[in-house]
Amino acid sequence: MGSATARRIDRIDTGPRFTEADAALLNARFAGIETREMLRTVIGEGLAGRVAVVSSFGAESAVLLHLVAQIDPGTPVVFLETHKHFAETIAYRDELVARLGLTNLVIAQPDPARLAERDANGLRWSFDPDGCCEIRKVEPLARALDGFDATITGRKGFQSATRAGLPRFEIDRSDAAARLKINPLANWSKDELDAYVVAHDLPAHALVAQGYPSIGCSPCTSKVAPGEDPRSGRWKGWDKVECGIHDAGQPDDELPPGYDPVF
């Protein structure tokens, strides 16, 4: 892709994807622009090329999915079927897809051969959560996004200290192809999310009322105490805050010292 000065951020490029300068220009262009209008331009006008939403169908997923559905319900929505989800998450996924009229749900699954090789007993999460995420999330997502130029995520800055100051547009540093990552809700507060849910009568994930403000795979998701970061219940007891799809992650064959699993 050409330099930031040579490339206009108002058309679909046919060259390599995006640069850090492109992300900076997009952040400047949409500074102060309402989220719905920003998404309408990005999705409706093809500003970012081929775009897919990546959704966990978790605690706050309904807001982003509703915004996207109002613009184009045929936008691809990628869901990572790790085979470790709560049953409530699968039910919520199906409810939202039907309720919002989403017509292009893409279910990405781990490679059966990789599971047989690296997680035959399904317990890798218990001694190597990074490796489990690599097999069940990072690798399947990379395959599912092949050919897409940009992804839309539901990350918010308030969710944890590591997400504070999250920009609306950034380059996916885990992607060698320089895919653009778009975070439409980056600066939304919890109160704004809640107000949107009420205003549009959106259904809630069944586990939220039970003390789960952030919901991932069932073995690695715990309840959160009042006052804690919403994501503090993810991988509790481990030095881990992301599954790897939002960073480079840790190779799944690099095990923590002292572990000698038998498969």
Instruction: State yes or no: is 217 an active-site residue.
Output: no
pTM of the entire structure? 0.81
Residue 5: the pLDDT is 31
Q: Give the pLDDT mean for 240-257.
A: 42
Cα separation, 26 vs 79, in Å, equals 26
The structural domains of the chain, with segments of one domain joined by +, span 20-233
Q: What is the pLDDT of residues 186-234, one digit of tens each?
A: 999 889 999 999 999 999 999 999 988 888 898 888 888 777 666 675 6
Q: Does residue 63 contact residue 91 with C-beta atoms inside 8 Å?
A: no
Per-residue model confidence (pLDDT) at position 65: 98
Mean pLDDT lowest for which of 41-45, 52-56, 211-215? 211-215
Going by C-alpha positions, the residue among 155, 151, 161 that lies closest to residue 188 is 155
Asked whether residue 39 carries a pLDDT value surpassing 60, the answer given is yes
Please, which residues have CB within 8 angstroms of residue 105's CB and are 6 or more apart in sequence?
77, 79, 93, 97
Residue 61: exposure state from Cβ atoms within 10 A (0-12, 13-18, ≥19): buried
Extract the tokens encoding 165: 């100051």
Chain mean pLDDT for the chain: 82
The pLDDT, as a whole number, for residue 237 is: 52
Give bridge partners of residue 234 from the DSSP assignment.
221
Which CATH number applies to 20-233?
3.40.50.620
List, for residues 76-96, the tens digit of each pLDDT value: 999 999 999 999 999 999 999
More confident residue, 125 or 5: 125
Question: Is residue 258 scored above 50 in pLDDT?
Answer: no
What confidence score (pLDDT) does residue 97 get? 98
Distance CA 198, CA 193 (A): 9
Are 203 and 71 in contact by the 8 Å Cβ rule? The answer is: no
Residues 157 and 165 sit within 8 Å (Cβ to Cβ): yes
Q: Does residue 26 have a pLDDT over 50?
A: yes
- Identified catalytic residue from 132, 217, 220, 243: 243
In percent, how much of the chain has pLDDT > 90?
59
Is pLDDT of 260 > 70? no
pLDDT of residue 126: 86
Q: Which of 233, 117, 245 is nearest to 172 (CA)?
A: 245
242, 162 contact by CB (below 8 A): yes
- For the chain, the maximum distance between any two Cα atoms, rounded to a whole number of angstroms, is 55
